[in-house]
A and B are shown apart, each in its own frame.
Chain A
Amino acid sequence: MDCCEFRERYSDFADGLLEDEAELRARRHLSLCASCRRFHAAFRTGVTALRDLPSVEVSRSFGERLRRRIRHELVVRGLAVDPLSGAVAATLVMVTIGLVAWDLAELRSANRAASAMAVSAMPPALRAPAATPIHRDTIRILLEGFHPFDPVLLVADTNPAQDTNPARFDVPAVWGGR
């Protein structure tokens, strides 16, 4: 056996799979060839060192991560509902509804406060007496200057029979009032 054949059949030699006769020839070659001896020794030393390498262990979180992934897999396939994500979803919906309701209430009270502030900032002469109804004739007088022939839109809201306001203003005939 020469070096070339030895290297070609080296795997079988290393595993002890050569037939008896080939095994003998390989061993004879090995005893005579320094290069192949060196090669064989390097392989043996290398493999021994490789097998002596410390084995790695899975991390502590491995099992939990795998469980999570399998749960996710099942949820995706619709075979199971993840109780945690269900609870989270329900909580989120409740919180959203609460926030919207709270926001609306806040908005309403803020509007009220803003209009109160705007009114109080006005000079007293411009403030409308919020609680005092404007007399229909006052409105009519104010508007008839612009629309003298058609104040109908503004007088239809009150009943003259109920009109007991002492601040009643009688329209002079010269203004064209009726």
Chain B
Amino acid sequence: MTLAATHSLRATRPGPASSFAELDDARLVQAFLDGQSRAFDELVGRYQARLLNFIYRTIGDRERAEDLVQEVFIRIYRHLHRFDQTKKFSTWAYTIASNLAKNELRNRSRNPLVLFQALRKNWEADHRPIQFEDFNSRPDDMFHKRHLRTLVEQSVERLPEHHRVVFVLRELEGKTYEEIADITGCNLGTVKSRLNRARNSFAAIIAPHLD
């Protein structure tokens, strides 16, 4: 990394932000490596919400997800000079995010305090007063909607970790099988098999509640 890039997230060379907005990811990466640190701002802006949603849907904890997104960007910043620019930047970013999310899930399964916090969070969610978001809907419709939301969130959380990552990448992030294989480091066959199992489990969890 060049010294010019050390003035973190501040421009080292003047340049309109809109010019970065027009660049694709690969050119932004190159601009950053050439010392234009504002290019990194643009990458952060493009990916922060996507990565946050991906990690949040994978681990189910909003605050922790944000911490992990920060960690993703720190790692990107730290290792961007080693990034193979023949690959897609988004795949690399998702790979880092996916690894961090998987580590988090593993650590959680070993940490009784985190399990307790998750239980408490669910309890609080179950006991909070009903919020009427949409006044045009009938109360029973709203109840059904809210019930369905909770149900699908819980169904995703009940999937095994390696199935969940593949499922979220496919259903929520819209990644192709090839991209998922790159992100997770698995071959295509494994991705297909995991996705099929995840979809079957997801449908099996939900089906009894929809009658």
Chains A and B are bound partners? yes
| Contact residues, B179-211 vs A (CB, 8 A) | 192, 195-196, 199-200, 202-204, 206-207, 210
Assess whether A46 is in contact with B202, with CB atoms less than 8 Å apart.
yes
DSSP majority for the B interface? helix
We find that the number of chain A residues with CB closer than 8 angstroms to chain B is 38
CA distance A80 to B9 in the complex (A): 13
User: For the complex, is A149 an interface residue (Cβ under 8 Å from B)?
Assistant: no
- Pick the contact of A11: B9, B62, B199, B207 (CB < 8 A): B199
CA distance A46 to B207 in the complex (A): 9
What are the residues of chain A within 8 A of B69 when measuring CB–CB? 58, 62
Given known A-B contacts A43-B202, A46-B203, A73 and B196 have beta carbons under 8 A apart = no
CA distance A38 to B208 in the complex (A): 9
Assess whether A50 is in contact with B8, with CB atoms less than 8 Å apart.
no
| Contact residues, A43-83 vs B (CB, 8 A) | 43, 45-47, 49-53, 55-59, 62-63, 65-67, 69-71, 73-74, 79-80
What are the residues of chain A within 8 A of B3 when measuring CB–CB? 79
Closest to B191 in A: A11
DSSP majority for the A interface? helix
- Pick the contact of B9: A12, A62, A66 (CB < 8 A): A66
Assess whether A10 is in contact with B8, with CB atoms less than 8 Å apart.
no
Assess whether A58 is in contact with B49, with CB atoms less than 8 Å apart.
yes
Assess whether B65 is in contact with A51, with CB atoms less than 8 Å apart.
no
- Pick the contact of A14: B66, B156, B199 (CB < 8 A): B199
Assess whether B202 is in contact with A69, with CB atoms less than 8 Å apart.
no
What are the residues of chain A within 8 A of B48 when measuring CB–CB? 58, 62
Within the complex, what minimum Cβ distance (angstroms) separates B145 from chain A?
8
Within the complex, what minimum Cβ distance (angstroms) separates A176 from chain B?
88
Assess whether A53 is in contact with B149, with CB atoms less than 8 Å apart.
yes
Assess whether B199 is in contact with A43, with CB atoms less than 8 Å apart.
yes
User: For the complex, is B73 an interface residue (Cβ under 8 Å from A)?
Assistant: yes
Task: Please list 5 pairs of residues, one from A and one from B, whose beta carbons are closer than 8 Å in the complex, sorted by A's number.
Answer: A10-B196, A10-B200, A11-B199, A50-B156, A56-B52
